[in-house]
Amino acid sequence: MTFRSLRLPQLFFSAIPLLLAALPQASAQDSYPSRLIRIIVPTSPGAGLDVTARLIAQGLSDRLGWRVVVENRAGASTMIGNDMVAKAPPDGYTLLMGVSSLAINPAMYKKVPYDALRDFAPITLAVLVPNLVAVHRSVPVKSVKELIALARARPGEILYGSPGAGTNPHLTMELFASMAKVRMVHVPYKGATPSVIDVIAGNIATIGITFAMLIPHVRDGKLRALGVTSASRIAVAPDIPTVAEAGPMPGYESVNWFGLLAPARTPEAIMARLHKEVVAILRSPEIKQRFHNDAVQGVAGSPEEFSTFIKTETVKWAKVARDAGIQPE
């Protein structure tokens, strides 16, 4: 028998192990999902991130035919829950409902146990949550421009509150101060509610926190709204200008955001399935109406857009932290 007559069978049999190795992976992806899926929320129950995760979980349960549950793993400025997903098997059964701290934490902490850009596979950005810059009714300003003028006239005297150092509302006001070239004093609280209570009481002058938390107090006359921090006005309150136009501070934008991610190296077929289903949920009339009522902007973009967005946010908040002289803990 000649070498030529042996060549084809040898090539065929040598390829069998490679074909067999590929079969289980293809089968697992084709049958996804085949068991319960967890969405990890790195904050406590009840807040906007948790609510959004539960809306998506219910929609996925209905569309995939398998139960999707939400697990709250709060702590360490969301790093406990984030790290749990970063180290989970990349099989599509453990997902993360990520929040803007994913991009902020690298600027605030020396040791973050995961790499936000390397250890996650973005599925889609879900919503943008605007903040509202407001003042106590006793503060003698009626616009963003007047607040800037007051802060310049009284450097280091205007107190602003936040739910804590390194939170999105904290950096929202640091970005404001940096772009307006004013010096205000940060008063951190242990959570959003205490900070809102203190601005209503007049113990601090101003705050820049979630629009939905402040607008009821604006409508009952306890606070005065100056500007929303999103790039455009909010449909439920079109009379309130953006900070960018009211300053004017061109380019000013600071929003909290929620988005769905998987562990890095999750198979492309599973990522594509998840993206398809979650986008359909976010674009459904019921969810769009819910977002409108809650004064948040639904997004439902591509994984590539979400990845670029996280990178941009990471660079942006690192600069804000440096400019504010914030030292990582």
Q: Give the CATH number, domain containing residue 287.
A: 3.40.190.150
pLDDT for res 204: 96
Assess whether 167 and 197 both reside in one domain.
yes
Amino acid identity of residue 200, one-letter, is I
In a domain, residue 8? The reply is no
Assess whether 135 and 237 both reside in one domain.
yes
Q: Please, which residues bridge with residue 69 across strands?
A: 38
Assess whether 153 and 225 both reside in one domain.
yes
Say how many domains are in the chain.
2
Cβ atoms of 37 and 93 within 8 Å: the answer is yes
Q: What is the 3-state secondary structure (H, E, C) of 279-323?
A: HHHHCCHHHHHHHHHCCCEECCCCHHHHHHHHHHHHHHHHHHHHH
Amino acid identity of residue 144, one-letter, is V
pTM attached to this predicted model: 0.87
The last residue of one of the domains, among 201, 228, 246, is 246
- The pLDDT > 70 percentage for the chain reads 91
In a domain, residue 228? The reply is yes
Assess whether 158 and 198 both reside in one domain.
yes
Overall average pLDDT of the 75-103 stretch: 97
The H-assigned helical ranges of 100-210 are 101-108, 144-153, 168-180, 192-201
The last residue of one of the domains, among 187, 217, 246, is 246
**pLDDT surpasses 80 at 24:** no
The last residue of one of the domains, among 199, 229, 246, is 246
**pLDDT surpasses 90 at 26:** no
* CB half-sphere exposure, 172, CA atoms < 13 A: 33
In a domain, residue 268? The reply is yes
* Torsion angle (degrees, nearest 10) of CA 42, 45, 49, 55: 120
Domain that holds residue 116: 34-128+255-323
Q: Dihedrals φ, ψ of 94, to 5°?
A: -130, 115
State pLDDT tens for residues 162-211.
Answer: 999 999 999 999 999 999 999 999 999 998 999 999 999 999 999 999 99
Assess whether 187 and 261 both reside in one domain.
no
pLDDT for res 157: 96
Assess whether 40 and 72 both reside in one domain.
yes
Q: Dihedrals φ, ψ of 37, to 5°?
A: -115, 140
